[in-house]
Structure 1
């Protein structure tokens, strides 16, 4: 076996061992009725699916976010409470981020 063949074989064996050690199933909390099923495993902030862009606000206080659109200027949007908000189509929105606190909604 060549030096490169031994390295490749070792990498394959390591990958197989790690795969065997990985859990086979994950338990997720049920998603809210208005949120897509995948939202239950998303982190806080901006994310998108194949069709829709979302902002998941994990705090309790109202905030303003900046939505970066693929064409046109960025726009502020108020998020009133905790949870997932649809902020547009995945092709129309490039990103979104926290800007500053908002007054009570």
Structure 2
């Protein structure tokens, strides 16, 4: 990691040569304005980790690897079987039947 000395200049368009996309501009502006609905609170983060940590430890202990799939595909094959268990077709949003 390298630190970069920078003057406090919140006009990103003048400070940085690369253009920041609108989405990042809005996110930064919302953060500066104190818009809290877009960000997770620390107690929510603690609750999320308390739920997922045991699951992650079990996956690691049982050496369960994620099922891989091709980029751009409709997802992994197991998703089709999981959806079929609940009488749902996986990933077929174009069909009306």
Q: Same fold by TM-score, threshold 0.5 exceeded?
A: no
- TM-score norm. by structure 2 comes to 0.24
When normalised by structure 1's length, the TM-score is 0.23
- Point out the structure with max Rg over C-alpha: 2
Structure showing the higher helix proportion among its residues: 2
